Amino acid sequence: MSSLAGGKVTLKHIAENTGYSINTVSRTLRGLYVAEPTAQKIKAAAADLGYIGNSVASSMRSGATRIVAVILGDLANPHYSRIVKIIVNYLDRHGYTATIYNTEDNILHEKNAIISSIRQGADGVLICPNEFDGGNVEFLKAAGLPFVVFGRDIADPAVTSVKLDDVKGGALAARHLVKLGCRRILFVNGPKGVATSMERLEGYRQAPAGLGIPNDKDNVLFAPGLFNTVSADERRWAVLARRICRMDFDGILAFSDQMALKVLQVLRNEGFSRIPIDRIPVVGFDNIMESFPLPLPLSSVGYAGEDMATAAPALLMEMLRGGDFKPRHLVLDVMVYARG
């Protein structure tokens, strides 16, 4: 590499070095048709000079950045970090770069993330929107950027989305516990009003009464929040823990694996060791044990077939390829990963 000394190597330098025009160099390096001997000389010169293209300039002219923006609430949640990892790898294999926006489940941050995605010229967006997103998805749609919503369903038929079958998940989880002999299930659900919480609850209640599942309202608790830094309120969790300890149950269903662990942790911290996971079945959602080792018999509801983390970018790539893309609302199948 004879280049390290003087600044960035550009197409112009290669052109001057080989005697060909900038255009021919550009065409060669992009693999467009050029006479073989010419191409060889140019490629050799490019390698020799240590040429690395300038995507800013190329994006400027072509209008495409090969950047995909990924917008979500909490990257530290193992469920999401696993998803992001798979997305990043997927995009990489397809020649795209991922920019990550962590909104902390804040609507304003989310809006800014969308604006930033537009500003930087992202070719597309993968977004797991806040449940109360106050029109951000609408805004994104109006911007004309191709995007896929994951982890949530959007009523708009023009919006493409991928999510798990939460109603079925709730039902399967309940059935699983009943089959294990549970008759008084405690459901520690997500926050009230969150669509996913409501769907899982619906499934939980749908599960055939014949199986002996109690639909007692008192056995359903709503968590004080998800796990973004902002809403994690230790005191409210402690209150919840004390309440749980006064209740009567023989199995636990939690909104997510993380929440299941949180509940167990808080019970432990509060000194209520009388509810060991080794003695009472616990079921969560997300199946985080797939990517994270846990020495606990935590069962979990997770995807049964196609993975959301793969499906979402796959759909986006399809949109980006052009052609006539018909919006879709994928609801992926789920199953219980039993552990005990």
Tell whether the torsion through CA atoms of 12, 14, 19 and 24 is positive or negative: negative
Smallest distance from DNA to CB 90, Å: 23
- For residue 96, the minimal CB distance to DNA (Å) is 15
Query: Does 60 sit near its own copies (CB under 8 A)?
Result: yes
Closest distance between DNA and the C-beta of residue 101, in Å?
21
Min dist. Cβ of residue 59 to its own copies (A)? 5
| Gyration radius of the chain's alpha carbons | 26
294 binds its own copies (CB under 8 A): yes
Is 69:87 a contact under the CB 8 Å cutoff? no
Applying CB under 8 A, among 34, 154, 264, 311 the residue interacting with its own copies is 264
Torsion of CA 79, 77, 118, 120, to 10 degrees: -110
Nearer to its own copies (CB atom), residue 137 or residue 178: 137
Strand 334-337 to strand 298-303: parallel, antiparallel, or no bridges (unpaired)? antiparallel
- Is residue 293 at the binding interface for its own copies, with CB under 8 A as the rule? yes
Size of the site for its own copies (CB under 8 A): 53
Only one of the segments 23-31, 151-159, 168-176, 293-301 lies at the binding site for its own copies (rule: CB under 8 A); that segment is: 293-301
Cα torsion 281, 336, 193, 249 to 10°: value is -20
Q: What share of the chain is helix, strand, coil (3-state, %, to 5)?
A: 45, 15, 40
Q: At 96, give phi and psi (nearest 5°).
A: -110, 150
CA dihedral 306, 147, 109, 332 (to 10 degrees): -20
Q: Is 167:202 a contact under the CB 8 Å cutoff? A: yes
What residue ranges bind DNA (CB under 7 A)?
Answer: 8, 10-12, 19-24, 26-27, 29-30, 33-35, 38-39, 53-54, 57-58, 60-62
Distance CA(314)–CA(336), nearest Å, equals 25
Kindly tell me which of 28 and 160 has the beta carbon lying closer to DNA.
28
Q: How far is the CB of 22 from DNA (least distance, A)?
A: 5
**Residue 34 binds which of DNA, its own copies, none (CB < 5-8 A, kind-dependent):** DNA
Least separation, in Å, of the C-beta of 80 and its own copies?
A: 8
Q: Which of residues 112-171 bind its own copies (CB under 8 A)?
A: 115-116, 118-121, 142
Question: C-alpha distances in angstroms, 10 versus 5, 22, 55, 73?
Answer: 14, 9, 11, 39
Of 16, 23, 35, 85, which lies in the binding site for its own copies, with binding defined by CB under 8 A? 85
Binding its own copies (rule: CB under 8 A), the pick from 16, 92, 216, 233 is 92
Instruction: Return the number of the residue (22 or 331) whose C-beta is nearest DNA.
Output: 22
Residue 257 near residue 289 (C-beta atoms within 8 A) = yes
Q: Which is nearer to DNA, 64 or 100 (CB)?
A: 64
Binding partner of 97, given its own copies, DNA, none, CB within 5-8 angstroms per partner class:
its own copies
- Contact status: 327 vs its own copies (CB under 8 A): no
Q: Identify the CA nearest to 54 among candidates 14, 110, 109.
A: 14
In angstroms, what is the minimal distance from the CB of 209 to its own copies?
A: 32
* Tokens, residue 305: 């077939």
Minimum distance, C-beta of residue 110 to DNA, in the bound complex (Å): 23
Q: Is 101 in the site for its own copies (CB under 8 A)?
A: yes
**Angle at the Cα of 145 from the Cα atoms of 139 and 146, rounded to 5 degrees:** 115
Contact 152, 194 (CB under 8 A): no
Residues of this chain that bind its own copies (CB under 8 A): 4, 52-57, 59-60, 65, 67, 74-76, 78, 81-82, 84-85, 88-89, 92, 97-102, 104, 109, 115-116, 118-121, 142, 227, 258, 261-262, 264-268, 277, 291-296
